[in-house]
A = this chain, B = another copy of it.
Amino acid sequence: MSSVFGNKIHVSIFGQSHGEKIGCVVDGLPAGEAVDLEELRCFLSRRAPGQRGTTPRRETDEPHIVSGLLNGKTCGAPLCVLMDNADTHSGDYDELRDVPRPGHADYPAAVKYRGFQDARGGGHFSARLTAPLCAAGGILMQLLARRGVLIGAHLLSVGDVRDEAFDPLLTDDDTLDKLKEGFPVLSSDQGEKMLEKAEEMRALGDSVGGLIECAVLHLPVGLGGPMFDGLENRISQAVFAIPAVKGIEFGEGFSASHLRGSQNNDPYRVRDGQVTLLSNHAGGILGGLSTGAPLLFRAAFKPTPSIAQPQLSVSLSRMEDRELTVRGRHDPCVALRAVPCVEAAAALALADLLL
């Protein structure tokens, strides 16, 4: 059940990078919810290839909803979104079934599936599968927004180029809205430098990692649960579905390990008749439950493993050493296109807890 998420809103994702179609089924949606296709297309276009700093592979990523929608509204039946895989160059990948690309799932997948895996473009392990993840998440974000819950993310860093961080308390709807237009950074100067960094890496035949920071606003206090079903548990389970994510932290996260309790605790005060937090080191989560402050987390992306330089690998069939040069078109920094993916993954977790 590896590509299935959720207890109440249940998302099943299918497809391979170079298969005929990719898509998702979303089961458990309430009936009568409008799905704005134009808004969904906009959302999907934010992860689409062909933007500055990304792979030239062209996919229209047109979401084709074939069930669950009637006159633009959910009808209570499972909603299925299909997308075509139009622009595949499978020939690029012929060697890869035998010679695994370092940093990709190729080798352990070959062992797990005993050679039957779809190795073309990484098959079901490809970042291409974040398209249906975004389709499901983009639809759920529309439902969440209707309930006042906003999700927005930005590139926090590309290599050592760093954007400003979200203000833990003051990040608001405006902040998130602005990020959805153009390159997703708070400081456009830093965004420019990130793109330069990505282009520099591409020119070197190399790649670079990055960080994405995500904020969720207006969650009701108390959402989540103790132990295994808390906000951190569920969001992390969803976010690690995005290829290349190797770490996640909430609020202060790893920095909290250096702090004292007297520094890290967020004091309470009554303001305008409401319980308010004076700081937000907790990232809006205590005991797996939302505190009412902005929920904040950061995901760490490793550098794109597909690089143009020759690398050391092996032939699995001959069990002998090989040198491999990965062909094909690749993003020099996966994080560049992953901003909406992080939002979508968060939406899966939050919709499953909230709806």
Binding site for B on A (CB under 8 A): 1-8, 10, 12-16, 19-23, 25, 27-28, 31-32, 66-68, 70, 73-80, 82, 100, 102-109, 111-118, 122-125, 129, 133, 157, 159-160, 201, 206-211, 221-230, 232-234, 236-238, 240-241, 243, 245-254, 256-270, 273, 275, 278, 281-283, 286-292, 300-307, 309, 311-314, 316, 319-321, 335
Contact = CB atoms under 8 A, between A and B. Distances in A.
Given A209-B264, A281-B302, 20 more contacts: A2-B288, A3-B225, A3-B228, A14-B25, A31-B116, A70-B116, A70-B118, A75-B123, A104-B286, A108-B287, A109-B287, A112-B289, A122-B287, A207-B261, A209-B258, A234-B237, A249-B300, A259-B303, A262-B307, A269-B312
Task: Give this chain's copy count.
Answer: 4
A3 B27 contact: yes
Contact of A109 (B10, B102, B289, B311): B289
Given A12-B25, A31-B116, A257-B300, A287 B105 contact: yes
B228 A241 contact: yes
Contact of A254 (B254, B281, B306): B254
A116 B80 contact: no
A290 to B, nearest CB: 6
Contact of A262 (B32, B245, B252, B309): B309
A321 B113 contact: no
Contacts of A206: 260-262
Contacts of A1: 6-8, 10, 27-28, 229
